[in-house]
Structure 1
Amino acid sequence: MKGSCPIRAGAETRPDALALTFAGRHWTYAEMDTEVGRWVAALRARGVGPGDRVGVLSANHAVLAHLFFALGRVGAVLAPFNARLTPVELRPLVEDVAPRLLLALEPLQARLPDAEPLESFADAVGGPSSECAALDDTSPRVILFTSGTTGRPKGAVITEGNFRASARCSAANLGEHPAPRWLGTLPLFHVGGLAMLTRTAYDGGCLVLRERFAVDDTNRALDAEGITHASFVATTLEQVLEARGDRPVPASFRYSLIGGGPVPAPLLARARAAGLGPLQTYGLTEACSQVATERPDEADGLTAGRALPGLEVRVVGPSGEPLEVGAEGDIEVRGPTVMAGYLNRPEATREALRDGWLRTKDVGRLDARGRLTVLSRRTDLILRGGENIYPAEVEKVLADHPAVREVAVVGVPDARWGEVPVAFVVVRAGSGLPEELGTWCRGSLAGFKVPARFLAIDALPRNALGKVERTVLRERARGA
């Protein structure tokens, strides 16, 4: 199935509607179409065409959005690199991509010495190109590198069909909106950021793009820029609520998607009271962002919700057999959002994709209503004396303690039990490490799940995508 550029479609049907805002500038669909056409002309002048790859090192910026849609019009592929990576980390990624063209924001060019400046790349051309080739659903659009917490990052190949399906499935869950305005604080080198960019274009909405998350700026946008949707993790959601004193957001706001792990129940209650409509969600790069999300009419914060309409989620045992309701096993996903495979990694692709199902390497369970609870990454599972301990389960209990701001639980070797859980705790301002955390856990968890130690830490170490670096914590726990 072929589809045309959603910016061109918007220019034809709603030319005066806003498509993008960034740093005080605004682009209607008609203006965005013209700007994307300039980038098409610039790419063609450099010989970029179907199947070519363009590597980019950039923080959030309007030119990255223009480039993304221009590459679609010429059939080329975007390979965005994480803007926080070092030159040493970037080198193997560039080698994997083998780009026809390499671009970088000027402040980041020192990390990619061979890159040309991104901001001025399209300035040399005259008028815009009208070229706008239709793309097959199978056409590669983006190569997104996984975070690499267990080894060298792999480049997931995300197709045009993946993005279209992701937008369609998300809209089916959230409900129709005549002109959604998503607050874009997630990075465009991340699947969540690109999903927002494409979702707003396919839905005829506007992406209110920000360079990065900043709590005061986020609250100003919520109050004054007509935002209808946003995405948060627990820490950013709490910052927003604390900064605004739980003051309600405007009634025009619809929903906020909450990812990144367990969210304390009191925090979700505060977000609901403030009108932020929090919906917990589970997703991953290889499935083009969302896989499961709470339904607005049944959100209770207890699970990550059901599979999005059009997708399937199942839990399987060691041999790939589907498990019964409530049984714990490996999460698998099937549907039109699942990636084409990993770039230059045929063995890894065969391992990840089996009979149409994406093997996520996450552990979870489904309830009788088909709602998913995510328990752990398979590599994060703690095995204590033959008993499985899922860090997310322990973290959720600890996160509900009033003195705990953030927590991460890891397994460390133990002579008697094989492994024991250790909790790293970030406490709230003015609080010391509570002595009763063990007792607090025993009120909700079996004894073998209670951490053997609770260690205070100023901040959880995170990688370039913001994920907790559990390997760093394991080493620190061994040293302690």
Structure 2
Amino acid sequence: MTYDCPIREGARLRPHAEALRFAGQTWTFRALDEEVTRWTEALAARGVDQGQRVALLSTSHPAVTFLFWALGRLGAIFAPLNARLTPAELMPLLEDVEPRLTLALGTLRDRLPEAVVLESVPDGVTASSVPERTWDADTARVILFTSGTTGRSKGVVLTEGAFRASCRASAANLGAHPAPRWLGTLPLFHVGGLAMLTRTAYEGGCLLLHERFDADAVNRAIDTEGASHASFVATTLERVLDARQDRRLPATFQCALIGGGPVPTALLTRARAAGLLALQTYGLTEACSQVTTERPGEADGRTAGPPLPGLEVRIVGTDGETLGEGQEGDVEVRGPTLMARYWRQREATRDAFHDGWLRTRDVGVLDAKGRLTLLSRRTDLIVRGGENLYPAEIEAVLANHPAVLESAVVGVPDSHWGELPVAFVVLRPGHALPDDLDAWCRQSLARFKVPTRFVAIETLPRNAMSKVERPVLRKHARSHPPYQPGS
């Protein structure tokens, strides 16, 4: 089966429907198609052709949308780079991708001085006919680099088929919507941001693109721009509710997908009281965003939900045998949303797959309804006296303490127990480190799971993909004055 560019299809079927909005500017499908055509001609004039890569350093900007669809029409591959990376971090990625063309948003070009300014790409190009290509399910569309928290960053190759399957699976879970209006607050160098960009195009909807997250701007989009869907993490969801002072959301807003870790029960209750349906979700770049998501009619905030329609999730033991409900083990995923491969890393690709199942390197458990609870990354597992401790389980308990904004739990070496858990907590404004955190945890956790120490920290260290840098916290925990090995 072959596919045409959805922007071109939209221009033919719904030319006057709004397709993109950014900072007060709007583009209908017809206007967006004209812009993409102009960019396609400009890229072709610069020698970009099928199978070649174009690297980009940019925050979210309308030009990124034009570029993405134009590259598709040429059969070229989009390689967005994380806009938070330093020049030293960017160089190895560029060497790996070997782009035909490197672009950078004007405000970021100082980090890539040799790059062409993104906004200037179509300038001065004379209109000409360009042979445009159709796609099939195996057509490579993007290379997205993982955060590299467990070693060298790997380029995840995602295909047109993966993006379309992800769209179908999410839509089947959320229910039919004639023209979804997704709030695009996730960066377009992130799989979540690209998921919103592609879904709105496939479904004839509109991407409400924001350069960065701003709670007031989000609320304006919800209240006055008809936003129907959004993706948040717990902290951004709370900021949205704080900024609107818990005013009820309009009926036009359908739901928000919540990722990034445990969500406090009180926050979910608060969201529901404001008319905001928050659905917890689990996903990863290698599976083109979502894998599991709560069902809208069954959401209780206790799990990350069951697999999306068309996807499968299983839990396996260290011997590779499938485990039953309630048994903790490695999470594996199978379905049409999976990556094609890691870019130029055959060994890593072979290691990632097992009989068609993707090894996620995450640890979790399925309940009787097939709903997933994520416990930890395999590399984050803490082993205390032979017992497995999962940071996510402990962090979920801490998240419900009224003084705790967020937390991260790491293991530190101990001569007697092997490892001991230490909790780093970011406190809410106006709160000191509570004396009752130990007692709070003991209400919900077995004694051996309770952190041996609680350390207040202003902010959690995060990498360029906003993931907590646990090695930094482990080093901090080992050098922190109260810590004595064997205590």
2:191 alignment counterpart: 191
1:239-290 alpha-carbon deviations (Å, 9 max, x no partner)? 1111111111111100100000000111011111112210000000000000
2:106 alignment counterpart: 106
* SS of match in other structure, 1:360: strand
Shift, 1:132, TM fit: 3.7
1:342 alignment counterpart: 342
Return 5+ residue gaps in structure 2 as ranges. 481-487
2:2 alignment partner AA: K
Pair 1:120 & 2:113 matched: no
1:138 alignment counterpart: 138
Whether the aligned pair in 2 keeps the contact of 1:41 and 1:129 (CA below 8 Å) is yes
Distance 1:438 1:117, change over 3 A: same
2:484 alignment counterpart: none
Whether the aligned pair in 1 keeps the contact of 2:187 and 2:212 (CA below 8 Å) is yes
2:456 alignment counterpart: 456
1:202 alignment counterpart: 202
- 2:124 and 2:327 map into 1 onto residues whose CA distance is 60
- 2:194 and 2:335 map into 1 onto residues whose CA distance is 19
- 1:216 and 1:249 map into 2 onto residues whose CA distance is 14
* SS of match in other structure, 1:245: coil
1:25 alignment counterpart: 25
Whether the aligned pair in 1 keeps the contact of 2:44 and 2:130 (CA below 8 Å) is no
1:446 alignment counterpart: 446
Q: Where does 1:242-391 land on structure 2 (aligned, <5 Å)?
A: 242-391=242-391
- 1:158 and 1:253 map into 2 onto residues whose CA distance is 30
1:247 alignment partner AA: R
Shift, 1:415, TM fit: 1.5
1:69 alignment partner AA: W
2:49 alignment counterpart: 49
1:207-253 alpha-carbon deviations (Å, 9 max, x no partner)? 00000001111111111110000000001011111111111111110
2:227 alignment partner AA: I
1:222 alignment counterpart: 222
Distance 1:267 1:320, change over 3 A: same
Shift, 1:127, TM fit: 3.4
1:107-156 alpha-carbon deviations (Å, 9 max, x no partner)? 11111122100011012223375754210110110000000111121000
- 2:314 and 2:218 map into 1 onto residues whose CA distance is 36
Shift, 1:175, TM fit: 0.5
* SS of match in other structure, 1:306: coil
Taking structure 2 as the reference length, the TM-score comes to 0.97
1:81 alignment counterpart: 81
1:334-375 alpha-carbon deviations (Å, 9 max, x no partner)? 001000010110010000012111100000011111100000
Return 5+ residue gaps in structure 1 as ranges. none
- 2:129 and 2:171 map into 1 onto residues whose CA distance is 32
- 2:463 and 2:247 map into 1 onto residues whose CA distance is 32
1:445 alignment partner AA: L
* SS of match in other structure, 1:344: coil
- 2:127 and 2:320 map into 1 onto residues whose CA distance is 55
Distance 1:129 1:22, change over 3 A: farther
* SS of match in other structure, 1:119: helix
Shift, 1:72, TM fit: 0.6
- 2:132 and 2:271 map into 1 onto residues whose CA distance is 42
1:431-455 alpha-carbon deviations (Å, 9 max, x no partner)? 1000110000000000000000000
Shift, 1:319, TM fit: 2.1
2:235 alignment counterpart: 235
1:134 alignment partner AA: T
Distance 1:421 1:129, change over 3 A: farther
Pair 1:147 & 2:139 matched: no
1:111 alignment partner AA: R
Q: Where does 1:161-176 land on structure 2 (aligned, <5 Å)?
A: 161-176=161-176
- 2:289 and 2:131 map into 1 onto residues whose CA distance is 29
* SS of match in other structure, 2:55: strand
1:407-428 alpha-carbon deviations (Å, 9 max, x no partner)? 1111111121110110001111
1:310-353 alpha-carbon deviations (Å, 9 max, x no partner)? 11111111122111111000000000100001011001000001
- 1:207 and 1:42 map into 2 onto residues whose CA distance is 24
Distance 1:305 1:34, change over 3 A: same
1:306 alignment partner AA: P
- 1:293 and 1:273 map into 2 onto residues whose CA distance is 21
Q: Is 126-135 or 450-459 further displaced after alignment?
A: 126-135
1:156 alignment counterpart: 156
- 1:132 and 1:5 map into 2 onto residues whose CA distance is 10
- 2:25 and 2:324 map into 1 onto residues whose CA distance is 53
The percent of aligned pairs where both chains have the same amino acid is 68
2:211 alignment partner AA: E
- 1:247 and 1:330 map into 2 onto residues whose CA distance is 41
- 1:451 and 1:131 map into 2 onto residues whose CA distance is 62
Runs ≥4 in structure 1, deviation > 2 angstroms? 126-132
- 2:215 and 2:464 map into 1 onto residues whose CA distance is 20
Distance 1:97 1:314, change over 3 A: same
* SS of match in other structure, 2:173: helix
2:483 alignment counterpart: none
Q: Where does 1:393-472 land on structure 2 (aligned, <5 Å)?
A: 393-472=393-472
Whether the aligned pair in 2 keeps the contact of 1:37 and 1:128 (CA below 8 Å) is no
- 1:66 and 1:374 map into 2 onto residues whose CA distance is 36
Whether the aligned pair in 1 keeps the contact of 2:32 and 2:66 (CA below 8 Å) is yes
Whether the aligned pair in 1 keeps the contact of 2:186 and 2:192 (CA below 8 Å) is yes
